[in-house]
């Protein structure tokens, strides 16, 4: 398996192997030394800090040569198609691609354009999928709750426009966790995401282990969509008052980027309850392990 398009195509056995390799790499870091002698091209049509830089760092640690492709400074600006761009890069003897693109499921088309021996990793396509974010998140959860079957998780915020959440839910189900609920304004939660709650009550999160927080992704809103940000902050911002009211005493997670002062305040984001920077660190190890396994 060398094309990672989404979570649903991956077996439990592959995920277990990936997590085991991730732990090995984490224990060996920074003394890991592998010489892959391959070339990977990073094609990011959307901004990225954590995903792109961790893939670049991981690839270089494994001995890859890294080509950083920038659509803004390429022949795409002259009218070249995505398919012709991929063909050009293949002619330049690229061994694999890590791709982020705003179009839903574009990764499936790209996969069809590639030879069998060229690897592909989906770094986020539209609202469809973000498999490596799900991998690092569930790995981080498993570090704290070894038996995910007994873990209770609430997803707070804009799950409607998130490509992370479908991937994460699928992977959690694969690992045996089915206690997932949603919290936030009705307009930010899809109808199929159940159970969903649209207000907070005293002690409503007291029995939850993980609160997974999402920013409002206005860049993915349709023209007809809107949300009252002042109401969101008043009712759902994760801060000391929110934690006291809801009784939440578990771990806080966020896939980033964080909009401090919107979905979470600065103090809470940096508190001992927060696993946010641990997610970033584990993302480096997960992506190193994934590149190692599929190449």
Architecture of the domain made up of 132-276: 3-Layer(aba) Sandwich (3.40)
Q: Look up the pTM and report it.
A: 0.95
Contacts of 57 (CB under 8 A, 6+ apart): 284
Tell me the CATH number for domain 3-130+280-294.
3.40.50.1370
**C-alpha to C-alpha distance for 70 and 47, rounded to whole angstroms:** 11
For CATH 3.40.50.1370, the residue range(s) in the chain are 3-130+280-294, 132-276
pLDDT in tens, the chain (295 residues): 899 999 999 999 999 999 999 999 999 999 988 899 999 999 999 989 999 999 999 999 999 999 998 877 677 778 889 999 999 999 999 999 999 999 999 999 999 999 999 999 999 999 999 999 999 999 999 999 988 999 999 999 999 999 999 999 999 999 999 999 999 999 999 999 999 999 999 999 999 999 999 999 999 898 999 999 999 999 999 999 999 999 999 999 999 999 999 999 999 999 999 999 999 999 999 999 999 999 9
Which pLDDT score is estimated for 71?
Answer: 78
Long-range contacts of 171-175 (CB under 8 A, 24+ apart): 171/7, 171/15, 171/131, 171/134, 171/135, 171/138, 172/138, 172/148, 174/7, 174/10, 174/12, 174/15, 175/12, 175/15, 175/138, 175/142, 175/148
């Amino acid at each position: 398996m060398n094309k990672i398009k989404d979570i649903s195509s991956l077996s439990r056995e592959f995920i277990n192997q990936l997590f085991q390799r991730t732990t090995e790499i984490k224990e060996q870091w920074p003394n890991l030394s592998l010489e892959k002698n391959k070339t990977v091209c990073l094609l990011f049509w959307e901004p990225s800090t954590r995903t792109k830089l961790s893939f670049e760092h991981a690839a270089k640690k494994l001995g890859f040569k890294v080509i950083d492709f920038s659509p803004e400074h390429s022949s795409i600006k002259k009218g070249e198609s995505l398919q012709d761009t991929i063909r050009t890069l293949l002619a330049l003897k690229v061994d694999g691609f890590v791709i982020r693109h705003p179009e839903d499921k574009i990764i499936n088309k790209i996969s069809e354009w590639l030879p069998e021996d060229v690897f592909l990793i989906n770094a986020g396509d539209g609202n469809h999928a973000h498999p490596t974010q799900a991998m690092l998140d569930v790995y981080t959860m498993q570090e704290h709750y070894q038996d995910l079957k007994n873990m209770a998780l609430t997803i707070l915020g804009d799950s409607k426009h998130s490509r992370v959440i479908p991937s994460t839910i699928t992977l959690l189900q694969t690992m045996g966790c089915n206690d997932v609920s949603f919290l936030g304004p009705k307009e930010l939660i899809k109808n199929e995401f159940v159970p969903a709650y649209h207000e907070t009550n005293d002690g409503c999160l007291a029995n939850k282990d993980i609160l997974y927080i999402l920013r409002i992704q206005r860049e993915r809103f349709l023209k007809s969509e809107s949300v009252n940000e002042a109401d969101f902050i008043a009712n759902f911002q994760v801060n000391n008052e929110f934690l006291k009211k809801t009784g939440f005493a578990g771990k806080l997670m966020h896939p980033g980027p964080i909009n401090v002062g919107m979905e979470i305040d600065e103090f809470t984001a940096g508190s001992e309850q927060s696993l946010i920077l641990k997610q970033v660190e584990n993302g480096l190890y997960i992506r190193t392990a994934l590149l190692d396994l599929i190449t």
